[in-house]
Structure 1
């Protein structure tokens, strides 16, 4: 393995594995992402007794005259499939989503690998800075994985937020809807013309808070991997990606799914707030800034509003997570062998 890694550095292996995993998982589950985004960005309909009888309440007029897209996940799926171009409808906004996810995973694993390496060196130089693990020590703690993932997530947010703004707006509307972006490039031009550079960073604040999602996920995922290798398989785990025993496909599914469900449930509300901040006419429809959006969600739908689309999200993220980590773990293990 050392000879292989002389040709491909661990950071490069992580980058290629992340890029491949992000690409394949995005292509696989993009239609579910369309449904989830529309559920998150569509406010609940007002009770029939509160429907406006005049133009005194612009918000209610806007809501009552909004797109007739059904509010249930199944209803949205039916409406997409019944369109003139069902494939195009299911894969609307694929370009920014694909570019964003593929680049995000590549950047994430690259930076995470570097930060983890630095943390590992720090602990080796300062043995008293970290309690030794039951498997003999020398590894990283859940807190270290949390820090490494948090730093990686921050870099990704700053680099890719413009893509998520375009993706959210394209996924939340049909191509034929009034004011909808016909393409990623046209959408970027419109954002620049109407909102300037700040428009590309709508929702960046809440996305930075949302980095806790990835941090929690890997703070659970990596220790579970070590636990499986050490206590279930009884395998000797060596530091460094190339020296580790391959994680089997079945354990990968179980461990990645468990980590994603924990992180997704704990941090889901930020995704709802972010989607509403980034969608069309965000301030008019949902309030100004994070505080305004949170207050309106709470006022209109209570705590349930912060979990709108959670079922669809879990249904979507589990397959995406399984595909991502199956591809990632296999490419990460086999790539140095293929590069001989």
Structure 2
């Protein structure tokens, strides 16, 4: 059923909350909930991405899960690295949607048209937001990758975010926190393509539904899944390159982005760039759907709940 709630005209007009705050809270909430739902898939995907073996086989994901459960402390081991993953996702989505909403507003103002954005506009807004987010959050992803790629008892493994941060600073300095940044910046194209597709699909979909407020949760699930699959099919290899550069022994194995690409292609072939794609698809579709579902609903209801609260408080 469409959501029926008193409309708030304009971009959250009259709600008493700033648009930036609403975007940040919506993104932060989406990041936390989606991470809790799909973190085990992220562990499996990371283990596959950093595996340098020359071949990948059907059933590798199941094998990794069994090994983790049997050798690393049971099912709880599937949630190793949950905290940096949760921090990274919640902060990333909060910053991303904050900048994305503001940049879209700036583009509308610059164009002198408050209602219409083109595919290029959406691509530009999401790309710029992605670059800013990547620069701010890359250190979190380095810690997260190193925790997810090893068992807790492995030699040199990080025990916590604090211990990992301290060790990384002492041993590798500031440069260590920005390992994999280049492929991460390339990966911004993934988000730009995804959001461009999502926004245009939402525009067309809402037209047939009589407005965005008439879109249902099922609509958001379908739109987010379709846009994610489209973007993922184009840009997945950068994630493999980034993960290889962020591992503990990256310095002894790779000389940089080009060397990673060369070695993967020579030793593992083209399919080496798609290692972990299976669990990644299983992971990102639920994650993306949950993220956009929570984001859209939080953005829709938060100003209305706040407005209702202010009205009740005013009556009292």
Question: Given the two structures, how large is their TM-score scaled by the length of structure 1?
Answer: 0.84
Q: Which of the numbers 66, 69, 72 marks the counterpart of 1:81?
A: 69
**Residue in structure 2 matching 1:175, options 125, 143, 152:** 152
Distance 2:190 2:54 in 1: 29
Query: C-alpha distance in 2, partners of 1:251/1:182?
Result: 41
**Could you say which residue in structure 2 is the equivalent of 1:317?**
284
CA shift for structure 1 position 71:
8.3
Pair 1:91 & 2:79 matched: yes
Deviations 1:173-220 (A, max 9, x none): 000111111111111111111111100000111111110010000010
> Structure 2 residue aligned with 1:112, among 100, 103, 114?
100
For 1:72, the equivalent position in structure 2 comes to 60
Q: What's the counterpart of residue 154 of structure 1? A: 131
Partner of 1:12 in structure 2?
A: 21
- 2:112 is matched with which residue: 117, 124, 130? 124
Residues 284 and 143 of structure 1: CA distance in aligned 2, closer, same or farther (over 3 Å): same
1:140 shift after superposition: 0.7
Match of 2:240 in 1: 272
Give 1:184-199 correspondences, 5 Å limit: 184-199=161-176
CA shift in 2, pair 1:283/1:262, >3 Å: same
Structure 1 stretches (4+) deviating beyond 6 angstroms?
none
User: Is 2:249 the counterpart of 1:281?
Assistant: yes
The number of aligned residues is 296
Conserved 8 A contact 2:54-2:267: no
Within-5 A mapping of 1:162-311: 162-230=139-207, 232-233=208-209, 235-236=210-211, 244-285=212-253, 287-311=254-278
Contact 1:4/1:337, CA 8 A, preserved across alignment: no
1:32 and 2:41 aligned? yes
The separation in 2 between residues aligned to 1:6 and 1:337, in whole angstroms, is: 7
| Residues in 2 aligned to 1:182 and 1:34: alpha-carbon distance in whole angstroms | 15
CA contact (8 A) 1:13 1:332 kept: yes
Gaps of 5+ in 1: 47-69, 126-136, 237-243
Q: Does 1:142 align with 2:119?
A: yes
Aligned residue number for residue 21 of structure 1:
30
User: Could you tell me which residue of structure 1 aligns to residue 51 of structure 2?
Assistant: 42
How far apart, CA to CA, are the structure 1 residues paired with 2:185 and 2:64?
A: 29
Mark the structure with the bigger radius of gyration: 1
